[in-house]
Amino acid sequence: MALSYEMIGSRINHHRKAQQLTVEALAERSLISVQHMSHICNGRTRLSLTCLVNICNALNISPNDILLDDINSGTEIQLKQDIQRVFEDCTNIETKHMLTIASALKQSLRISSKQINNP
């Protein structure tokens, strides 16, 4: 199973914001550049295990808090929290577009599922 670097970044951002840290402050505490931290938080880059551990240590959290749902699909509550994190900083227009896409994807998945189950 491939890791979702966007969700990893989203979870890092969630913990960072909960501790009222800037990207710059977290980067400094994690011993990485601000640019690299920004890319990690936005899911635009992969991060090494060492980097992940440094970030988790800086946030005083376990790597499980960042990775768990990518290893194990997680609970319904966790999934809802992940969805909330993805949407939390969206504009109204972005939210509307994302909901439209999600609705269309849901419909497509259900059609595909019916075709696979009823060939």
pLDDT tens string 3-52: 789 989 999 999 999 999 999 999 999 999 999 999 999 999 999 999 99
CA atoms within 13 A on the CB side of 35: 0
Residue 75 has pLDDT above 90, yes or no: no
Domain borders along the chain are 5-88, 91-119
Which pTM does this prediction carry? Answer: 0.58
Q: How confident is the model at residue 119 (pLDDT cuts 50, 70, 90)?
A: low
CATH 3.40.50.300 fits 5-88, yes or no: no
Local structure of 103: helix, strand or coil: helix
The mean pLDDT value for 96-118 works out to: 86
Residue pair 4/63 in contact by the 8 Å Cβ criterion: no
Local structure of 97: helix, strand or coil: helix
Residue pair 79/85 in contact by the 8 Å Cβ criterion: no
